[in-house]
Amino acid sequence: MPGLQRRLAEFAEVRDWGRYHTPKNLAAALSVEAGELVEIFQWLTPEESAGVMADRRSAARVEDEVADVLAYLLQFCEVLGVDALAALEAKIARNEERFPAPGNGDSME
């Protein structure tokens, strides 16, 4: 992922897109792409939504939107110096405390 983040940064730099890439704009762009991902599913039942990759065209659309969301997330992290993987690691650790796995303390011995 750091390699892709670097590649995206160079891509933007070479094209002089830096002035558009404020954190505010990149956060907005990320949410726009997330909306386009939601759009694919908006009228589907939960069951239909699970089968979306079986259709070649909607599979391509899903992959495209996933790429866009990840691209803007990494570009956002790049301009603010955020380490997305470290942030997620820390969050998982916090959530493991917040939502303890059930059952382990319930054994009857």
Residues binding a second copy (CB under 8 A): 1, 4, 7-8, 11, 14-16, 20, 22-25, 27-32, 34-46, 49-50, 52-53, 62-64, 66-71, 73-74, 76-77, 79-82, 84-85, 87-92, 95-96, 99, 101-102
Task: Fill in the DSSP letter of residue 104.
Answer: G
The H or E element containing residue 89 is helix 84-98
Nearer to a second copy, 53 or 57 (CB): 53
Residue 104 CB neighbours (<10 A): 7
Shortest distance (Å) from residue 109 CB to a second copy: 20
Hey, what are 45's tokens?
């039942």
